[in-house]
Amino acid sequence: MRLHRNLVFATLDALSEIFNEGAYADKVIEKTLKRDKRWGARDRSFIAETTYDIVRWKRLYAEIAEVKEPFDRENLFRIFTVWATLRGIKLPDWPQFEGTPTRRIKGKFDSLSKIRKMRESIPDWLDETGVAELGEETWEKEIGALNKQAPVLLRVNTLKTTPEKLQQILKEEEIITYKVKGYPEALQLEERANVFRTQAFKNGLFEVQDASSQMVAHFLEVEPGMRVVDTCAGAGGKSLHLAALMENKGQIIATDIYGNKLKELKRRAKRAGAHNIETRAIDTTKVVKKLYNTADRVLIDAPCSGLGVLSRNPDAKWKLQPEFIDNIKKTQAEIIAKYSKMLKPGGKMVYATCSILPSENQQQVEFFLASDEGKEFKLIRDQKLLSSETGFDGFYMALLEKKE
């Protein structure tokens, strides 16, 4: 691989924003890729993947480069040099690369790789939390899996097409996919590609959605004609899946405290041809109370630490703090207590998170069932999905029924 100055500089600019200004990696990369219209697919891919890679291994690379935050331009070049050296990339004769200690870099990598928090490039507190919650052996495997680049998964929109038809359509646009056993609407990309540019995407034939996330709507056991409330709908990936499973029949009420996310959901629903979704922003407590005892099904895709999706959001490792996890657990407990009241007797509810921590998952369900609000409920089944076992995102889901 030959390094090009403008691509390396663009990558370093992106890293500076992410590390020094606390900006979100996906937003920074999206903005950076618009900088030069002459960049082709390979150039964009270099910037995006190199930036994500260095974000993922920040602690390890900074330790090898012997630099500390905040990183100035010289520090960022040293980190980049470590990245390139460990990948066996020939360094050009730019002044910034003069005197690169190639052998020392490799030696330090070998010795630091013996320490898990360095090898997996995570903060001390996260390593301690992982061991405390999952045990040494499971955590070791899980954090290793979460440090791999996430595959690209599509969810076929069955309101408009079938997996077989979509495979054919995408093949004509030179995108090769294959089916994923056990996930009826999932197609996995053989090679990474910008699927958002395809006509198939513009026509609403699919959404990008991880395979684990695709299981949640199925877990809720919806049927056409039901009244379903998606309580933390966000931009609506699961609402759209529910609409397809319900064949556009019945009603889905998508609520969220963020009105701007629901606007995005409306746009996506229009593209997908999902006509049975109604959005309601939770701007007062009345919005929730009006829905008490009205729903056949309730989905609580609760806010969480997001530790199950580190492979696609590696910068979360550096933004997350232990206090945030403590606070989010309180929020989860409040949400499940409040939103469970929307169910009719005999109705079913799914509590789901994209976390792998039992304290956000099984323990929240146990806590709810032991509470006054939870006495009317019983746990039907739950499922924890670990990245190390599936190759997809870490997820948890529990199906609860309100007694008649």
Walking along the chain (404 residues) 10 residues at a time, the average pLDDT comes out as: 96 98 97 96 96 98 97 97 97 93 96 98 98 98 97 98 98 97 98 95 98 98 98 98 98 98 98 98 97 98 98 97 98 98 98 98 98 97 98 98 96
Helix ranges (DSSP H) in 209-358: 211-219, 237-245, 259-272, 285-289, 316-319, 322-339
Instruction: Tell me the C-alpha distance between 251 and 244, whole Å.
Output: 12
Query: CA 97, 314, 272, 255: dihedral to nearest 10 degrees?
Result: -140
> How far is residue 337's CA from residue 333's CA, in Å, rounded to a whole number?
6
Question: Exposed, middle or buried, 174 (CB in 10 Å: 0-12/13-18/19+)?
Answer: exposed
Known active-site residue 354: yes
DSSP H/E element including 343: strand 343-353
Return d(Cα 36, Cα 254) in angstroms, integer.
38
Catalytic residue among 354, 357, 365, 398: 354
Decide: helix, strand or coil at residue 282.
coil
* Cβ-proximal residues to 92 (8 Å cutoff; 6+ apart), any chain: 2, 3
| Alpha carbons 372 and 27: distance in angstroms, whole number | 42
Nearest 10 degrees: Cα torsion 348, 352, 358, 359: -90
Element (H, E) at 6: helix 5-20
Question: In the block, which residue shows the tokens 């910068």?
Answer: 315
